[in-house]
Amino acid sequence: MGAHGPAKGLTRWLTTTNHKDIGSMYLWFSFAMFLLGGSFAMIIRAELFQPGLQIVEPEFFNQMTTMHGLVMVFGAIMPAFVGLANWMIPMMIGAPDMALPRMNNWSFWILPPTFLLLASTLFMEGGGPNFGWTFYAPLSTTYAPPSVTFFIFAVHAMGISSIMGSINIIATVVNMRAPGMTYMKMPMFVWTWLITAFLLVAVMPVLAGAVTMMLMDIHFGTSFFSAAGGGDPVLFQHVFWFFGHPEVYIIILPAFGVVSEVIPTFSRKPLFGYASMVYATASIAFLSFIVWAHHMYTVGLPIAGELFFMYATMLIAVPTAAKVFNWITTMFKGSITLETPMLFAIAKVFLFTVGGFSGLMLAIAPADFQYHDSYFVVAHFHYTMVAGAIFALSSAVYYWLPKWTGKMYNETMGKVHFWVSFIGFNLTFFPQHFVGLAGMPRRIPDYNLMFADFNMMSSIGAFIYGSSQLLFLFNIVRTITHGKPVNDDKVWDGATTLEWTVPSPAPYHTFSTPPEVK
Amino acid sequence: MYQQAKRLYKLALCPVLMLLSLLSTGAWATEGNPQRWQTNMTPGVTEVGAKIYDLHMFVFWVCVVVGIIVFGVMFYSVFAYRKERHEEPATFHENTKLEIAWTVVPFLLLIVMAVPATSTLIEIYDTDDAELDVLITGYQWKWKYEYINPEGDNVSFFSNLLTDKAEIGNTEAKGSNYLIEVDEPLVIPVDTKVRFLVTANDVLHAWWVPALAVKRDAIPGFINEAWTKPTETGVYRGQCAELCGRDHGFMPIVVNVVEEPEYKAWMATKQAEAAEIKKLMAQTFSMDELVERGKGIYNRSCMACHGANGEGGVGKPIANSPIATGEVTAHIDVLVNGVPGSAMQAFGGQLNDVDLAAVVTYTRNAFGNNMGDKVQPIDVYNFKKGQ
């Protein structure tokens, strides 16, 4: 392979500027964070297995819910998609590497120390962040444990990493497409990531602003979020959700991109409505900026504001529904096989749509006065985040693992992983709709006996779902060490994108001379 | 193949039937309070609650119908167009008319949903013409209710979790109102429009009673409005809905909706109690009286943090503490104003002067502390006035 192979030993990973190496590191890092965030979830579900306090104190329980959210969102899902972007975008657009390789190295290497810092807050005096992943002031300012300063620093560092990563993606997609690869010929995964990158560049600084104001309030006597000094605690929520709502699309859009690759491949039929898919993605991105206050229906917004945010939020159903219809019509009259990536992709479409339905219900402001901050919300966003994003990530890993390693994963084990995940996931989160509607608030360590049955179900489901991920890990490691080499570089007969035109495993450097795209 | 499909179909039907049976039995909530195996929202005991419930069910059924169509096509495709049955895939990849149709139809459906949603929302926001105003203040971790009385003194009291620590710690059997019971519920009259003015003393809280269809964030420094008009008497339970720190799960809400005469009688007793306290404030108490009263207050308000024997816990120990064995004024100051930046709250607004005097006296003369001095209500009163 070329003149420049990878360096040897640890320095290869520390100093690498190769998009494949960095992509792999992102993926492994995110998997480690997925297991860490997952173990926090296991502690939460173990405590909620039965009414009464058994395992942890309420104070620690709050740290677990907070850290679970932070680690999963910022440590697992986001870096996993950046890892996929690193690996796949250059290969999909026929580029030799990312546009800014040194910055690429740095944006990854910021993450491990950042999360080490964040995790270390759990061992500090007063404990780690305990104010929820949404860190509403003044619980996160005046009433926060001292470790909040480290949390703020960690959020800043994550933000820098994300902004650099997304600038890199924008620069790569805009400048490094192979000749003939026009924008409207780019694979959907590249499109969704391009739009996601713009979202990230737009909102990560807003998050940085929110935590900076917190820092000022805590240490420098300002009162941004304190009414006593002329500020407003609700201001925090506006700023946070102006970041936070686009953030959930930052998580879900690349997942849409993945299934838009996987479904056509295994249906052996081109993606239905490519152009409308692009426009739908762009409209979702635009709408994501004008719906933030639907997270705040009960804070006492004026009715005109409440109505505006309700209508705008309901509108999101239109482009999202169009995407679901497109995927299904892609399958319609295709020639479908159900390998593991396809199973995960179909389940993602199915379960994400269920999450979309509950999302539509939550958009209805009057009804939200009953749903808000109940377990119904917890069920809703896990249907979109776990089934929507994590299932898409599993699909992507099984889909591209043979391309990355040149070896085939164990299909039976993959299918077992899928079915156990699918059952475990639904057993965990479906009953949460019920307890939420029956009146169980979220983020509580203990509950009334009436909620006990569904909570026990939910915990059992969580243990099943959690342990199925160990099987996933085992399958990946086993593929790398003992997998059978793939018969064909193309691996999947229905695949059409550029990455399948290079050998499997993909050589360290691909497309040193750009391919011709017709 | 057909057999296999039939088996699969039966398998898939099982959970659906289970769900339907759940929904059709008692699980379909009709009462205001959570029921075992409850799967749905309560319509509650107010007109607005019923409208919210109808709206919720309407959107739910629209989703179910859309879901059946969409998932129907999806699973049909997965079944019918499997490679072994459908070797040659079709090649179509766009259809402008179809794409316009599935953009326009959802949009129209949304308009149909938005109309009733808008009218219900307008109703929720109509807080005018209330017959009774109650100021609700969230504290870490209890609620304070204050009845605004335009012609006299307001009546106010705190509402604390009643559940025994032993039940939470699993050493005693849990009662049916485990974690949703309080020492003193909010009492309101039936068929009366009650306006709630919701605020908080420290962090954010949210006052939520599903049966009354009220959920409002309690925000320190701001006052939110909400209202309810229950049409049935009864005891309705809810919980704090906004994460507010350690005991967020332990600050329930209980509302007792009673007939008008019963409400009036209750209000009269509360006013008499308040008058009694006012009288007590002017009295001088003996050591024994103060200690006895102080012990009760300590066990209710201080013990959770400072321990049954003053040994400390979340809070500092009281036995041998430099504050409880130090200067009296400084001791009163800590109780009245709290210690900023620590878990010690300001009790000046939470306890009356009699209770404050009693608990200061008690802690100076218990747990091995032996100061021998007394604090009278007038001392606390003068301290508050002087600061």
- The ipTM estimated for the assembled molecules is 0.94
Name the one residue in this structure whose structure tokens are 């889909």. A399
Closest CA of chain B from A401, distance in Å: 23
Give the tens place of pLDDT for each residue, A74-108: 999 999 999 999 999 999 999 999 999 999 999 99
- Strand B142-147: give its sheet, edge to edge: B155-159, B142-147, B132-139, B194-200, B224-228
Q: Please tell me which residue of chain B has the smallest CA distance to A55.
A: B169
pLDDT on residue B3: 55
Q: Domain extents for chain B?
A: 19-124, 132-273, 282-386
pLDDT at A52 over 60: yes
Residues of B within 8 A of A364 (CB-CB) are 55-56, 59, 113, 117
Confidence of residue B387 (pLDDT cuts 50, 70, 90): confident
Interchain CB distance below 8 Å, A357 and B177: no
Give the tens place of pLDDT for each residue, A309-329: 999 999 999 999 999 999 999
pLDDT on residue A277: 96
> Which of the following is catalytic: A161, A166, A288, A384?
A161
Q: Please tell me which residue of chain B has the smallest CA distance to A366.
A: B121
Closest CA of chain B from A333, distance in Å: 6
pLDDT on residue B16: 52
Nearest to B242 by CA among B226, B218, B211, B214: B218
- Enumerate residues 363 to 392 of chain A having a beta carbon within 8 A of any beta carbon in chain B: 364-367, 369-370, 372-374
pLDDT at A344 over 50: yes
Pick the CATH number of B19-124 from 1.10.287.90, 1.20.950.20, 3.40.30.10, 1.20.120.160: 1.10.287.90
Closest CA of chain A from B331, distance in Å: 23
Interchain CB distance below 8 Å, B90 and A366: no
- Is position A510 annotated as part of the catalytic site? no
pLDDT on residue A264: 97
pLDDT at A1 over 70: no
pLDDT at B265 over 70: yes
- Is position A68 annotated as part of the catalytic site? yes
Residue A267 lies in a domain: yes
For chain B, helix (H) and strand (E) counts, in that order, are: 10, 10
Lowest mean pLDDT among A319-333, A470-484, B141-155, B338-352: B338-352
pLDDT on residue A2: 46
How many structural domains comprise chain A?
Answer: 1
What are the φ and ψ backbone dihedral angles of B314, each rounded to 5 degrees? -60, -40
Domain that holds residue A173: 20-501
Q: For chain A, say whether B24 makes contact (Cβ under 8 Å).
A: no
The residue ranking higher by pLDDT, B5 or A204, is A204
Compute the average pLDDT of residues A440-449.
97
Compute the average pLDDT of residues B164-183.
93
Nearest to A353 among B51, B70, B214 (CB): B70
Q: Please tell me which residue of chain A has the smallest CA distance to B29.
A: A438
The residue ranking higher by pLDDT, B138 or B352, is B138
Closest CA of chain B from A140, distance in Å: 9
Q: Supply the mean pLDDT for chain A.
A: 96
Nearest to A122 by CA among A113, A111, A130, A114: A130
- The third-level CATH classification (topology) of the domain covering B282-386 is Cytochrome Bc1 Complex; Chain D, domain 2 (1.10.760)
Interchain CB distance below 8 Å, A300 and B74: no
- Is position A232 annotated as part of the catalytic site? no
Per CATH, B19-124 and B132-273 having the same topology is answered no
- Is position A295 annotated as part of the catalytic site? yes
pLDDT at B18 over 60: no
- Is position A382 annotated as part of the catalytic site? no
> How many Å apart are CA B43 and CA B29, to the nearest integer?
8
**Whether residue A138 has a cis bond before it, omega within 30° of 0:** yes
Give the tens place of pLDDT for each residue, B218-246: 999 999 999 999 999 999 999 999 999 99
Are residues B105 and B172 in contact, defined by beta-carbon separation less than 8 angstroms? no
Residues of B within 8 A of A227 (CB-CB) are 219-222
Q: Which two tokens stand for residue B180?
A: 């949703």
Class of domain B132-273: mainly beta
Q: Supply the mean pLDDT for chain B.
A: 89
> How many Å apart are CA B129 and CA B2, to the nearest integer?
66
Single pTM value for the model: 0.91
Nearest to B81 among A310, A333, A448 (CB): A333
Give the tens place of pLDDT for each residue, B74-111: 999 999 999 999 999 999 999 999 999 999 999 999 99
> How many Å apart are CA B233 and CA B256, to the nearest integer?
8
pLDDT at B300 over 90: no
Nearest to B47 by CA among A305, A247, A494, A366: A366
pLDDT on residue B109: 96
Interchain CB distance below 8 Å, A317 and B110: yes
pLDDT on residue B1: 46
Residues of B within 8 A of A379 (CB-CB) are none
> Using alpha carbons only, how large is chain A's radius of gyration in Å?
22
Interchain CB distance below 8 Å, B248 and A62: yes
Nearest to A449 among B178, B202, B238 (CB): B178
Residues of B within 8 A of A59 (CB-CB) are 246
The residue ranking higher by pLDDT, A237 or B305, is A237
Compute the average pLDDT of residues B161-183.
93
Compute the average pLDDT of residues A10-21.
93
Residue A57 lies in a domain: yes
In angstroms, what CA-CA distances link B230 with A143, A200, B44, B181, B240? 36, 47, 8, 20, 20
Residue A518 lies in a domain: no
Sequence-ordered list of residues with C-beta below 8 angstroms from that of B2, at least 6 positions apart, any chain = none
Sequence-ordered list of residues with C-beta below 8 angstroms from that of A281, at least 6 positions apart, any chain = A191, A192, A195, A253, A256, A319, A323
Confidence of residue B345 (pLDDT cuts 50, 70, 90): confident
Interchain CB distance below 8 Å, B83 and A336: yes
Closest CA of chain A from B373, distance in Å: 35
- Enumerate residues 124 to 183 of chain B having a beta carbon within 8 A of any beta carbon in chain A: 124-125, 140, 167-170, 174, 176-180
Residues of B within 8 A of A448 (CB-CB) are 34, 177-180
Taking each helix axis from N to C terminus, what angle separates A148-175 and A78-93, rounded to the nearest 10 degrees? Answer: 10
pLDDT on residue B351: 86
pLDDT on residue A17: 95
Closest CA of chain A from B372, distance in Å: 36
| DSSP letter (8 states) at residue A122 | G
> How many Å apart are CA B127 and CA B227, to the nearest integer?
6
pLDDT on residue B24: 43
Confidence of residue A139 (pLDDT cuts 50, 70, 90): very high
Name the one residue in this structure whose structure tokens are 């104001």. A213
Q: Which two tokens stand for residue A27?
A: 């993926």
> How many Å apart are CA B253 and CA A269, to the nearest integer?
57
Interchain CB distance below 8 Å, B239 and A439: yes
Give the tens place of pLDDT for each residue, A361-396: 999 999 999 999 999 999 999 999 999 999 999 999
What is the CATH number for A308? 1.20.210.10
> How many Å apart are CA B213 and CA B238, to the nearest integer?
10
Residue A10 lies in a domain: no
> How many Å apart are CA A126 and CA A123, to the nearest integer?
8
Residue A512 lies in a domain: no
Give the tens place of pLDDT for each residue, B21-68: 445 444 444 456 888 999 999 999 999 999 999 999 999 999 999 999
Q: Please tell me which residue of chain A has the smallest CA distance to B242.
A: A373
Residues of B within 8 A of A453 (CB-CB) are 36-37
pLDDT > 90: what percent of chain A?
Answer: 97
pLDDT > 70: what percent of chain A?
Answer: 99
Confidence of residue A214 (pLDDT cuts 50, 70, 90): very high
Compute the average pLDDT of residues A113-142.
96
pLDDT at A66 over 70: yes
Q: For chain A, say whether B216 makes contact (Cβ under 8 Å).
A: yes
Nearest to A395 by CA among A168, A173, A189, A93: A189
